Every structure is written in C-alpha cells, then in structure tokens.
Amino acid sequence: MLPIILFAYPILASLVALILDRNLKLELLVLLHALLHISIGIYGFLNRGNLGSMDDLGLFMFLITSFLYLAVAFYRINSGTEHALKAYRIHSIFLMLFIAAMDAACLVKDIGLIWVFVEATTITSAMLISFENSKSSLEAAWKYLFICSVGIALAFVGILLFVLAQPEQASLHLGKIQVHTLSPFWLKLSFIFILVGFGTKIGLAPLHFWLPDAHSEAPAPVSALLSGALLNTALLPVLRIDRIMRNAGMGNLAQDLYLVMGFLSVFVATVFILKTRNYKRLLAYSSIENMGLIMIAFGLGGVAIYAGYLHILGHSLVKAAFFLCAGNILSIYHDKHHANINSLFNRNRTTAWLWLLALIMILGFPPSPLFVSKFFIISAMISQGYILPMIALILMLAVIAWSMMRISLGMCCGENQNKARLPLWTYLSPTALLLIAAILGIWLPAFD
C-alpha cells in the first residue's frame, strides 16, 4: 500500500502540475509531496522491522531524504516568484520525480533495479541542475550527466560480473544470493567495477570531478538535495554489496579500497578548499571531504561503522542547511566569489549566524554528530594502527578548518551597512535542520 502512494503521488502530481497556473501552487504541490513523504517515513520508523520492503538501511536513507525534502519544500515557498512559470513547472515536476527515483533506489532490493533507479536520479537531477539555463549551469549539467552515466555504466559492468560470480541460477535480488557459493575472483572484479561506478556518483576522488560543478551551479535547494540525499542514495548500493563482500569473507579487500578512496577524497578536498574562490564550490568540496571520511569509517570497520552512519546523518542535515544558507547569501549578493562578499553581519545578521553555525557544525564542533563520528573514526584508526594516516588526516582536517573559517569570517565581517531582507522560510528551514542535527548530536539515536 505505502509504496503505491509513494510512487503514485509524484506521477499524478506531475500531471496536475501541467495544468497549474501559478508558481505558488506548484510549490504547495511539492510541499504536499514532502509532507506525505515524511509522514510515510515516520510511519515506517515507528513500526520498523515488520515492513516488508524497507530494511533499516533503506529506512535510514529514506528518513534523511524526507527531512531534507521537507526543509527544501518549505524553503522553496515564495522563492520561485521570479522564475517563468513554464520552466518552474518543469523544475517542480522533475524535482518530484527525482525524489521518487531516490525513494525507489532506497526501497528496492534488486541490484539491477537499484542501478536503474540511480541512473534515473542522474537523468532527473541533470534537468534540475540546468534549471537556471545559464552557460555554466548548462555545462555543469552536461558534465554531471555524462560523467555519471559513464560511471554508472561501469557499475553495470560490475553487476554483470556479479551475475557471473554466481555459479547456478544467478539472481540479483539481495535476499536470494547464496553468499558461500560466490566465486571470489568474479566477486572481486565485480566489486571493483561497482565501487568505481557508484563511487563516481558518490563523488569519491579521483572520480569526483562533476561534483563541485554540479553543486555550485544548481539552485540552492537542489544542491542541498544533491549533496544531502543523492550522495547517500548512491552510497546505498555500495553498502549493500559491502555486506555481501563481508559475508563472502572479502571484507578486508573492500575496506582497503574504501580507505584508499577515502583518503584520496579528503586530500583532494583539502587541496581545493585551499584553492577555490567560489563559496558554493567550497561547500561541494567539503561534501567530498565528508564522503571521504565516511568511506574511511566504513573502511576501518568495527565501531567506526557506527561512526560512518552517524557521519552520513550529520553531514546530510548540516550540509543541506549550509547550502540553503549559501542560497540566501546568493540571493543577497548575486555573486558566488567569496572575495567579493563581505559584511554579511551587517547586511543580514540571521543568515550570517546561520552560516557560521553551519560552518562550525560541519567542522565538527559540538553539538554536531560529526564530532562524535570523528572521535570514533580517529580512535578506530589508532586501534588498528594507522598512526601516520591518522596524523595526516588530522593535519588535513585542521587545514580545511582553517581555510573554511578564514573564508567564512571574511564573508561575514565588514563595513557595508545597508540591510537586506529575506522571506521567513529561508531562515526557518536551515534553522530547523541545524536544530535537528544538534539534538541528534547530543542525543544519538540507535541505529543497527
């Protein structure tokens, strides 16, 4: 029953949207979808375990998505007034389809279908990214679509090899796989392809190149969803395969690959956080960094796996809020170069403080879930004897913290005095996200 509502609504709503004649109505339509979404999510959370289609992992991602979607839907209210109706209609339709595709990718258990839906998210979100129809957004969308399609194609090769790994009647349904019969050689090979393929979509270095472009050129709500929800959705299949790998006794191979890619990601993020001049790209790189940390966490295993899930949660919420604040700043200054932005404190104090709070929470100051997760990641690294990597990691994190704080403070402080006002919703949803993150940082929910 639930899945039907979940997928029937967006399709019907897209049809309805074709006849709606005002932006506000479209926004309300999306908002309704978001409310439906989160109510289903909460229902699923309340009686989890006895849901057939949703396992905990899927539910986890689903809940994160619904929180973000709700925040974004509120954020969009009254923000679309300056857009043309037609473009905005298409935008809203694709937004709902995008969410539907992500839900499907969270819910289904068949790797093949997961692949299909992840590819579907690529297609839909490509339309969302190119919404502003400027040169750069077009280029970003093209690169995003193309690189991700190629990567996903490689992932499909991996899936085929996974079929090859099963001696008799091959099946792609995760439940039906006899792990002990898998041939290790093909499993290894398929895992490599799957990791590289979905890793492209997760944005792990050195496959991350589309990510800063897409995140910086998309409109703020879309970037929030991309970095908060889509990356997790792309991470999901990797985690599902990871369970198989671990059951097949090849967990340490997977973990080594995770560690390698994770460290590369953090390193690349450090390089470009020092380098970049565009604050939305800054956030994008910090997404890469956090994804790298998550991969490191899963690569370490043990208690760090918990840290990994926590990090996913915290990063999604805080980063979404961060991107929404960036949207506010963009709508105040109409400029993406942080060198040209100053005195945010004077121009719009609320945004400034939201920005700084999101900053310190993404850097892992308490009360942020990232603090706890970083603590566990570091202690796990010690316990497994990765001493030099740990020192390097801490150094890189310190450099990232320095650079991001320098840039953000430079944006916030200054002399310019003329005030700028924004609609209330644009403050509320980041605040709500940050609050949820803070609460979760202090009172951690138990996942398993």
Partner 1 sequence: MSIGFLILFLAIIPALWKRSGLFSILWLLGSGIIAFEYLEVIYSRTVQDFMISFPYPIGTANIGISKLSAFFGTVFAIGLPLGMLYGHFYLKQHPSEGIRSHLFWLGILGLSMHGILWMKHSLLFLMVWELMSISSFFCVIHDRQQSLKAGLNYIITMQIGAAFLMVGFGLMFIHTGSFDFNGLENMPRLPMYLLLIGFAFKAGFVPLASWLPQAHPVAPAHVSGMMSGLMIKAGLYGIILILLTNAFSLWEILVFCLLSIISAFWGVIHAMVSTNIKKVLAYSSIENIGIIGIGLCVGLLGKDAGIPAMATLGFAGAFLHIFFHSMFKALLFYLSGNVLVASHTLEIDKLGGLAKSMPFTAVYFLVGTIAISALPLGNGFISEFTILYGIFHAMGANDLPAMVFGAVLLSVLAFVGALALIAFSKLFAIIFLGEARQEEARNAQECPRGMRIPQLVLGLGILATGGIANLGLRFVKPILRWMALDMTMIRDFQTTLNQVSIVLAIVVLLSALLYLIRRMCVRESISATWGCGYQKPNPRMQYGSYAFVHPLSYFLKPFILFSKKQKQGDMAKGINPINSMEAVDPIFKYIVEPVSKAMSWFFELFSHIHNGKTNSYIAWCLGFLILIIIWVLGVR
Partner 2 sequence: MLEILVLAFGVTLLFASVTNMLHSLIRILVVQGLILFAVTLLKSTQLNWLSFGFIALETLIFKTILIPWFLSDTIRHNAIHREVEAYVSNFFSLTLMSVIFLGSFALAIFSEQQSGKLFPLEFGIAFATIIKGLFIIIANKKLITHLMGYLIMENGIFLLSLAVGGDLPHIISLGISLDIMLSVLIAVLFIKRIKSTFDDADSPGHLRED
Residue 326 contacts which entry, partner 1, partner 2, none (Cβ below 5-8 A, type-dependent): none
Amino acid identity, position 317: L
Q: Which two tokens stand for residue 13?
A: 């709503």
Which member of 257, 284, 317, 434 binds partner 1 (CB under 8 A)? 257
Collapsed DSSP state (helix, strand, coil) of residue 264? helix
Distance CA 279, CA 409 (A): 12
346 binds partner 1 (CB under 8 A): yes
Which member of 31, 90, 138, 192 binds partner 1 (CB under 8 A)? 192
413 binds partner 1 (CB under 8 A): yes
Which member of 209, 243, 389, 422 binds partner 1 (CB under 8 A)? 209
Orientation angle between helical segments 111-129 and 85-107, nearest 10 degrees: 160
379 binds partner 1 (CB under 8 A): yes
Q: Output phi, psi for 278, to 5 deg.
A: -120, 125
> Half-sphere exposure of residue 367, counting CA atoms within 13 Å on the CB side?
12
The binding track of 369-408 with respect to partner 2, each residue x by CB under 8 A or -, is: ----------------------------------------
Cβ pair 219, 327 in contact under 8 A: yes
160 binds partner 1 (CB under 8 A): no
Collapsed DSSP state (helix, strand, coil) of residue 110? strand
- Candidate segments 188-196, 288-296, 315-323, 425-433, binder of partner 1 by CB under 8 A: 188-196
Instruction: Kindly list the distances between the CA atom of residue 350 and the CA atoms of 275, 391, 407, in Å, as whole numbers in the listed order.
Output: 28, 37, 18
For the CB of residue 199, give the shortest distance to partner 2 in the complex, in Å: 16
Residue number with CB closer to partner 1 (45 or 371): 371
170 binds partner 2 (CB under 8 A): yes
15 binds partner 1 (CB under 8 A): no
- Candidate segments 86-94, 215-223, 237-245, 394-402, binder of partner 1 by CB under 8 A: 394-402
Distance CA 214, CA 75 (A): 20
> Half-sphere exposure of residue 226, counting CA atoms within 13 Å on the CB side?
33
247 binds partner 2 (CB under 8 A): no
Residue number with CB closer to partner 2 (133 or 252): 133
Cβ pair 68, 229 in contact under 8 A: yes
> Half-sphere exposure of residue 297, counting CA atoms within 13 Å on the CB side?
24
- Closest by Cα among 156, 267, 146 to 206: 267
183 binds partner 2 (CB under 8 A): yes
Residue 192 contacts which entry, partner 2, partner 1, none (Cβ below 5-8 A, type-dependent): partner 1
Cβ pair 226, 214 in contact under 8 A: yes
- Closest by Cα among 379, 229, 399, 212 to 306: 379
163 binds partner 2 (CB under 8 A): yes
112 binds partner 2 (CB under 8 A): yes
The answer to whether the bond into 369 is cis (omega within 30° of 0) is no
Residue 262: which H helix or E strand, with range? Answer: helix 251-275
For the CB of residue 252, give the shortest distance to partner 1 in the complex, in Å: 10
428 binds partner 1 (CB under 8 A): no
Where residue 385 falls (left for φ over 0; alpha for ψ -120 to 50; beta otherwise) is left
Which member of 240, 371, 423, 432 binds partner 1 (CB under 8 A)? 371
Task: Looking at residues 266 to 325 of the shown chain, list those that interact with partner 2 (rule: CB under 8 A).
Answer: 272, 275-276, 281
Q: Which two tokens stand for residue 304?
A: 């760090």
Which member of 212, 262, 369, 430 binds partner 1 (CB under 8 A)? 212
Which member of 186, 267, 353, 365 binds partner 2 (CB under 8 A)? 186
Residues that bind partner 2 (CB under 8 A): 110, 112-113, 115-116, 119-120, 122-123, 126-127, 130, 133, 135-136, 138-143, 145-146, 149-150, 153-154, 156-157, 160-161, 163-164, 166-167, 169-170, 172, 183, 185-186, 189, 212-213, 216-217, 272, 275-276, 281
